[in-house]
Amino acid sequence: MPSEVVDLFTELAALPSPPGEERAVADMVVRYLRDLGLTVDEDDAGSKVGSNIGNLYCRLEPTDGGSPIFLCAHLDTVPPTAAIEPVLEDGVIRNSAGTILGADNKSAVAAMLEGARRVLAENRPHGGIELLFTPKEEVGLLGAAAFDHERLHAHLGYVYDQAAPIGEVILGAPFSRAMQVRFHGRAAHSGMYPEEGRSAIAAAARAISDLRLGRVDEETTANVGIIQGGTAGNIIPEWCSLDAEARSQDEQKLEQLVQEMVDAFSFAAGLEDCEVETKISKSYKGYRFKTEDPVVRIAHAALERSGYVPTYALSGGAADANVFNERGLACLNLANGMQDIHTSDERITVEDLEGMVEVTLALVDVARDADA
């Protein structure tokens, strides 16, 4: 017989929730928590970030001493391209319909909800537990960014948003900058008056060829993800735009790489007698923990108590943890066993779903005994 967390996860996963359309999943989470006798508040973030839900916040009042903790998971997934039909075969949950499963991040939602149920059902003492479920994480951590973090009583928190074996603890995530670049040339008939034209696409292509893309070094990456330009095959393109990004664990390295990319855009535009406009924006701020930090020590002890060997790593991606760390709250990202996320082979094992419930309970227990 499937366990309660498996049933809960498959029910959540079957509800499509692309960014901005998380209502059905949010309603299920609210019903679940209210059935436990808890109060759930939904803020007004939806109207600010373009979602049909706000952030869901729920607090379990402390029954004992120790450190309160908050647990956060996001309710959106990358957009599915077909139906979501979770199936359990040989201890593994997959989607039989050929698109994402939504383990990212509904497996975390299920583990946290089941953990809360167990705390109440077993009358487990705790120092305070806060649950936060956010929209539009996949498109820029928007829900978490719109949440009033001063509502949280806890200063230590956890997300389960790393696709790796349980036990991996993410000590750091990168800083990131996004770049929107627009080259402006001059249109002309490509067969009759080509010498009068100035190709914006040629300028963009020259710039891209000069960029260091992919893995720049062990801490740093760069990418050009979108390029658009031109109006017809026989017109020298007057406009070309591209979207690029750079990330690094080292903020100084990131600033140097961004300046290098901006210089490449300007140089290429000059060679092609074009103009260029570059808009740079912060995507998110990185962070780095030490193994002796309280939020890490609690996680280490909880993982060991649950039968896992803690390991440490850095992530190349962001999570809601980036937002909370930037605001002065210590929020740690823990791997939860998700595999091949964002693909049609996305999956998670029953063992890992159940394991993260035990990790959740252990976090509560260790935090209760901690003096962080």
Active site residue 137: yes
In Å, how far are 25, 62, 68, 126, 357 from 364, measured between CA atoms? 25, 11, 8, 6, 11
Q: Which residue has the tokens 């909370």?
A: 324
Mean predicted confidence (pLDDT) in 150-163? 97
Is pLDDT larger for residue 180 or for residue 283?
180
**Does position 71 have pLDDT exceeding 80, yes or no?**
yes
| Phi–psi pair at 41, nearest 5 degrees | -115, 135
pLDDT of residue 142: 96
**Does position 297 have pLDDT exceeding 90, yes or no?**
yes
Which is catalytic among the residues 104, 114, 137, 352?
137
Mean predicted confidence (pLDDT) in 247-254? 96
Domains contained in the chain, CATH given: 4-173+286-369 (3.40.630.10), 180-284 (3.30.70.360)
pLDDT in tens, 298-342: 999 999 999 999 999 999 999 999 999 999 999 999 999 999 999
Distance CA 364, CA 199 (A): 61
Which is catalytic among the residues 22, 76, 168, 352?
76
pLDDT of residue 160: 98
pLDDT of residue 65: 85
User: Which pairs count as long-range contacts for 252-257, CB under 8 Å and 24+ apart, including other chains?
Assistant: 253/217, 253/219, 253/220, 254/174, 254/175, 254/176, 254/177, 254/220, 257/212, 257/216, 257/220, 257/222
**Does position 80 have pLDDT exceeding 60, yes or no?**
yes
pLDDT of residue 371: 62
pLDDT in tens, 11-29: 999 999 999 999 999 999 9
What confidence tier does 370 reach under pLDDT thresholds 50, 70, 90?
A: confident
Please give the full DSSP string across 82-94, using - where no structure is assigned: S---EEEETTEEE
